């Protein structure tokens, strides 16, 4: 299994906790609270720049990777106009390769702004999504959600029928705006057009768990597994079964997630869950 895949699998439990903490079911907040949050988030977006996210990300790297990034950044600073785009793309690719989506997202956004290219806008949106789903800071996360929304909207301006962009936008609306039903509507429209759409069904399943609709979640995750039986899909299916009190089905699904992942951290968690379910 590739290093990036292992990293993703190892974060399954963390990501599920994050996604399930999002405000999906209790959709009503005081209007004043929304306006205050939106102002705060807007302020955070204004200070969240490629420089700030790059410096933060470099602190997580080993010396070799950090030096590679710094060298490319220095080349970019000294480059003339004809060289900048290629160096920006190299930096975008490098950040993605070392599993740091936030700076990669900003570089893809710059590339998209330069060429107004659908693929770059979509890539930026997907990376901003990866970034906000992994972000723990309560102010930075909504700022990254807002960036995801903006870039997906740009992608949809170029390709209004794009199911990938609609799915990403739908997830972002649910994850970090006062109007999550707008996002749910987008995701439902995606699965209406493409009933086996993996990303839309996976996220609708997660949102069904959040809202306590575990039977619907089971159906969503089963659909995902028919197309792409990943460890995280099996894990989420197991959680839905567990919440329904279907212990045998939950144990089977947890074991399948463990088998496919071959990840020590997830294996330990799954073993603990199975022990609890067998009591």
CATH number at 132 reads: 1.25.40
**In terms of domains, do 210 and 137 share one?**
no
Secondary element (H or E) of residue 55: helix 50-58
Residue 109 has pLDDT above 80, yes or no: yes
User: Is the CA virtual torsion 251, 256, 262, 263 positive or negative?
Assistant: negative
Per-residue confidence band for 49, with pLDDT thresholds at 50, 70 and 90? very high
**In terms of domains, do 121 and 96 share one?**
yes
Q: How do residues 225-239 score in pLDDT, each as one tens digit?
A: 999 999 999 999 999
Question: Is the distance from CB of 276 to CB of 268 less than 8 angstroms?
Answer: no
27-31: Cβ within 8 A, 24+ apart: 27/180, 27/181, 29/178
**In terms of domains, do 235 and 145 share one?**
no
* pLDDT at res. 243: 96
As a residue count, the chain comes to 279
> How many domains does the chain fold into?
2
> What integer is the mean pLDDT of 150-173?
97
Q: How do residues 202-213 score in pLDDT, each as one tens digit?
A: 999 999 999 999
With vertex at residue 74, the alpha carbon angle to CA 73 and CA 80, rounded to the nearest 5 degrees, is: 95
Per-residue confidence band for 15, with pLDDT thresholds at 50, 70 and 90? very low
Q: Is residue 138 part of a domain?
A: yes
**In terms of domains, do 37 and 67 share one?**
no
Q: Is residue 262 part of a domain?
A: yes
Considering 138, 161, 184, which residue would you say is the last residue of a domain? Answer: 161
Q: Residue 131 contacts by C-beta under 8 Å, 6 or more apart in sequence? A: 101, 102, 105, 144
Q: How do residues 135-151 score in pLDDT, each as one tens digit?
A: 988 889 999 999 999 99
Structure-token pair, residue 255: 């074991």
Question: Is the distance from CB of 125 to CB of 112 less than 8 angstroms?
Answer: no
Residue 122 has pLDDT above 80, yes or no: yes
Q: Is residue 70 part of a domain?
A: yes
* pLDDT at res. 41: 47
**In terms of domains, do 97 and 151 share one?**
yes
pTM of the model: 0.81
What is d(CA 133, CA 125) in angstroms, rounded to the nearest whole number? 12
- What is the extent of the structural domain holding 75? 48-161
* pLDDT at res. 139: 86
What is d(CA 190, CA 131) in angstroms, rounded to the nearest whole number? 23
**In terms of domains, do 123 and 206 share one?**
no
Provide the CATH number for the domain around residue 221. Answer: 1.25.40.10
**In terms of domains, do 38 and 71 share one?**
no
Residue 272 has pLDDT above 90, yes or no: yes
**In terms of domains, do 38 and 78 share one?**
no
């Amino acid at each position: 299994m590739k290093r990036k895949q292992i990293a993703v699998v190892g974060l399954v439990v963390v990501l599920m906790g994050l996604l399930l903490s999002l405000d999906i079911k209790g959709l009503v907040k005081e209007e004043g609270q929304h306006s205050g949050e939106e102002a705060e988030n807007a302020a955070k977006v204004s200070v969240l720049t490629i420089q700030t996210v790059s410096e933060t990300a470099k602190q997580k790297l080993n010396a070799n990777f950090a030096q590679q990034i710094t060298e490319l950044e220095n080349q970019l600073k000294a480059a003339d106009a004809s060289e900048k785009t290629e160096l920006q793309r190299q930096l975008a690719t490098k950040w993605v390769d070392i599993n740091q989506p936030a700076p990669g997202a900003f570089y893809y956004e710059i590339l998209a702004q330069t060429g107004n290219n659908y693929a770059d806008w979509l890539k930026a949106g997907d990376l901003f999504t990866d970034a906000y789903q992994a972000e723990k800071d309560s102010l930075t996360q909504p700022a990254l959600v807002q960036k995801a929304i903006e870039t997906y909207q740009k992608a949809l301006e170029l390709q209004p029928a794009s199911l990938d962009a609609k799915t990403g936008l739908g997830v972002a609306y649910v994850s970090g705006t006062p109007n999550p039903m707008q996002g749910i509507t987008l995701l439902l429209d995606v699965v209406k057009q493409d009933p086996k759409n993996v990303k839309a069904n996976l996220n609708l399943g997660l949102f069904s768990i959040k809202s306590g609709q575990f039977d619907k979640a089971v159906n969503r995750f089963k659909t995902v597994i028919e197309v792409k039986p990943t460890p995280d899909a099996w894990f989420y299916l197991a959680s839905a079964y567990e919440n329904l009190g279907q212990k045998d089905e939950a144990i089977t699904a947890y074991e399948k997630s463990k088998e496919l992942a071959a990840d020590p951290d997830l294996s330990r968690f799954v073993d603990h869950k199975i022990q609890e379910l067998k009591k």
